[in-house]
Structure 1
């Protein structure tokens, strides 16, 4: 199967491309525009996207590329909407023209649900109440994807992943940031000061390996026009994840809360229900502890 992966050079993209190739797929990678190249695409350039999709003519597409930082979306909401919404529309429009039968997975986010009642799990029928520019742009991209399904018959599926961890995540995300600080302290390269933001929010964490297996399954078997949560169903505070990371690294240092690391409009509790995905045969195989060990190993090797 000829599969096009956008955002192939990103955290999840690298894991996904490897997983798809291991399964025998012929994978074509769209990367970011920072380095010039025929497959290094600026998603907001509709003509460039159209040319690249026409050249590949994929049978399947996983659209991962986008503006991925909640924190940075507050600083640059226009860029978040341009990349996540216009970029998605450009991909879908190019597919409609050059590969209308290609099964397409548009990757959204569990953030689209916004705040949910504590102790409950968001399901695919829960209302979408995004509370930050990143989430709002993802919700808008979902709307565009479903319109292309309803209006033009494109076989589009939407994934709503919750938080996921593992090797390869950018340093500004919370767990890699913690790991870098702790390992620098352990090595004597920095003062025993661990700067953190709000540690109270509860989140639903999965291993990135389980997430990419979910994406492959949804690409092949997800129902067109439907959305699927990708989630563990278990909530943990950021504080508990930090505590486990400190134990794994072997550094006993108390965190120092830095107000500048707090996000506006923080969601206090966000946990997902993946029963719909599990009904397709998906089962998590890996633990958060394994993901934290992968992060530690990667940062140690730097």
Structure 2
């Protein structure tokens, strides 16, 4: 019995293949390596199934792949994982090279180092052949002529696999399949897209005239074919997986409309940069192994339509169970993030390690193999001579520069670099307190705010000075999400809550600022993690609000007897050890992604209406 490693087992074809293998008496164990992306489906994402384990590992993490091969005593490997959307490949060819070429090379290198794989099946694509311009079916030994970045990247990965077979004796099998369709296909491909558009009575969008042809095979037939090749195929051979179900895309749209009904109209949109005419293949070698097609095109289409009808909410792509390793999970905001992750069923490890212990941190990440790392740790307060200082004035005390640089610069940057090295998505809770109003960015509402690309301009406090360097180093790093928050607000009293702080003072200096209402942003941060979004984001509610406006809301909704006084900035500086950052952050980048985010006034009012009600 085989112990099988499947890459991309949370994808469309991969997840159907996982199901087939788990039902097989010839497979003793399945290890599923899938890092989880937007289009991954949830049914085998950290599922609690006997003889099965999911590893949310990027294929480029060669060390992790080798460890999985060794720990799980893998005998066979089926390699499905790939970026596969042709349209997206025109926009970012480099990402397809990273995934489909470099990722495949990493897997091949890990298998070579492991040395105990008896059968390696590489799942390629019919698109590497290019067009059927001569009217003949492509044979397994036909020349390859990829004509888009996706197919070129698949051809590159396949070429590396063949090179490892020739050079190192890798026991290689290759399959090249026609277009798959069926259950659990993300609706960005033509079949799922057409069906979803028809079910919602939306226009059916067709690239160009729709005269190009595609050959379709139901995913269950394809998975049985792959399994047949894995078990019976001759090492070193290529097998086409194809069907005679070839149809023009325009005819497919009409056929589905006839089956589903509704009011959808066909809408022709701009054609692809390069849209191949068709990919008919000869599957006679596969038939010789005893495989036969079982699902007719008519039955397959109806099954697929029924499946999408029953899964219109698309929850199988949104309810993903991810694996988070959290640093700083016992702090104020850390506990909120941890509780949210627990509530939504994610696998969670809250680290007990100190971030300055580099070797221990690297070992922990290698052992845990998380899909995501979040750092909520930092230094803003502490004890001096037995007295607790709850503000960043702590960092102005003599001898605190080392702590400041260690915890607010070295630790997050080192963690980010380590995650990049291991191809793990990293989220850092940074700060927007690195700016100060100036002649261009003034407190008035008509004045522009600071964007994600503006360099820090405030070095008035030791905290902001160091954080400014951290922000600069993490800005736009690949695989790193840098979340800038400011003056965080919650609906429960806490010494770190901005509302708690300003209601504890007898006098305040009222200046309009950007602020972050945490109950609204914790879900957004986790969603951005899950979607593997990277880059720097100003995570503040749109607009600016003054201290006085917040206290007026507090008096209106929480404590009608509350009173306060104002004092000037000069008076305030007499009781502070360092100036404070006051600024307005632009949120256009955030709002394009999350247009539902409420303005700071709307959100703070909601906080005050529910203040301390759950305590």
- Note whether the superposition's TM-score is higher than 0.5: yes
Using the TM superposition, give the Cα deviation of residue 121 of structure 1 relative to its aligned residue in structure 2, in angstroms.
0.7
2:100 aligns with: 84
Is this contact kept in 1: 2:185–2:192, CA < 8 A?
yes
Task: Name the CA distance, whole Å, in 2 between partners of 1:48 and 1:3.
Answer: 16
Q: Find the residue that maps to 2:120 and give its secondary structure.
A: strand
Is this contact kept in 2: 1:12–1:208, CA < 8 A?
yes
Task: Name the CA distance, whole Å, in 2 between partners of 1:86 and 1:136.
Answer: 13
1:197 maps to 2:213: no
Task: Name the CA distance, whole Å, in 1 between partners of 2:303 and 2:105.
Answer: 35
Using the TM superposition, give the Cα deviation of residue 75 of structure 1 relative to its aligned residue in structure 2, in angstroms.
0.9
Is this contact kept in 2: 1:110–1:161, CA < 8 A?
yes
2:597 aligns with: none
Q: Find the residue that maps to 1:284 and give its secondary structure.
A: coil
Task: Name the CA distance, whole Å, in 1 between partners of 2:5 and 2:299.
Answer: 29
1:276 aligns with: 285
1:46-125 equivalences under 5 Å are: 46-117=62-133, 119-125=135-141
Per-residue deviation, residues 98-143 of structure 1 (Å, max 9, x unmatched): 2433311000100000112253211112110000011111111111
Q: Find the residue that maps to 2:122 and give its secondary structure.
A: strand
Task: Name the CA distance, whole Å, in 1 between partners of 2:91 and 2:5.
Answer: 31
Using the TM superposition, give the Cα deviation of residue 253 of structure 1 relative to its aligned residue in structure 2, in angstroms.
4.1
Task: Name the CA distance, whole Å, in 1 between partners of 2:73 and 2:103.
Answer: 18
Task: Name the CA distance, whole Å, in 2 between partners of 1:252 and 1:115.
Answer: 34
Q: Find the residue that maps to 1:170 and give its secondary structure.
A: coil
1:225 to 223, 236, 249: 236
Task: Name the CA distance, whole Å, in 2 between partners of 1:165 and 1:228.
Answer: 19
Task: Name the CA distance, whole Å, in 1 between partners of 2:75 and 2:237.
Answer: 19
Task: Name the CA distance, whole Å, in 1 between partners of 2:33 and 2:299.
Answer: 29
TM-score (normalizing by structure 2): 0.46
Task: Name the CA distance, whole Å, in 1 between partners of 2:244 and 2:134.
Answer: 13
1:27 aligns with: 30
Higher helix share: 1
Task: Name the CA distance, whole Å, in 2 between partners of 1:209 and 1:194.
Answer: 26
Larger RCO (alpha carbons 8 Å, 6+ apart): 1
| CA RMSD across the alignment | 1.8
Structure 1 residue runs of 5 or longer lacking an equivalent are: none
Task: Name the CA distance, whole Å, in 1 between partners of 2:266 and 2:285.
Answer: 38
Per-residue deviation, residues 171-230 of structure 1 (Å, max 9, x unmatched): 111111111111111xxxx5xx33222311111111111100011011111122221111
Using the TM superposition, give the Cα deviation of residue 33 of structure 1 relative to its aligned residue in structure 2, in angstroms.
4.5
2:607 aligns with: none
1:4-23 equivalences under 5 Å are: 4-23=5-24
Q: Find the residue that maps to 1:205 and give its secondary structure.
A: strand
Task: Name the CA distance, whole Å, in 1 between partners of 2:184 and 2:75.
Answer: 27
Greater shift, 41-50 or 63-72, is seen at 41-50
Greater shift, 291-300 or 55-64, is seen at 291-300
Is this contact kept in 1: 2:245–2:297, CA < 8 A?
no
Task: Name the CA distance, whole Å, in 2 between partners of 1:115 and 1:139.
Answer: 15
TM-score (normalizing by structure 1): 0.92
2:254 aligns with: 243
Task: Name the CA distance, whole Å, in 2 between partners of 1:7 and 1:207.
Answer: 18
2:467 aligns with: none
1:160 maps to 2:171: no
1:265 aligns with: 274
Task: Name the CA distance, whole Å, in 2 between partners of 1:97 and 1:62.
Answer: 17
List, as ranges, runs of 4+ consecutive aligned residues in structure 1 with deviation greater than 6 Å: 35-38
1:211 aligns with: 222
Structure 2 residue runs of 5 or longer lacking an equivalent are: 47-53, 313-615
Task: Name the CA distance, whole Å, in 2 between partners of 1:95 and 1:290.
Answer: 40
Is this contact kept in 1: 2:217–2:245, CA < 8 A?
no
2:146 to 98, 123, 130: 130
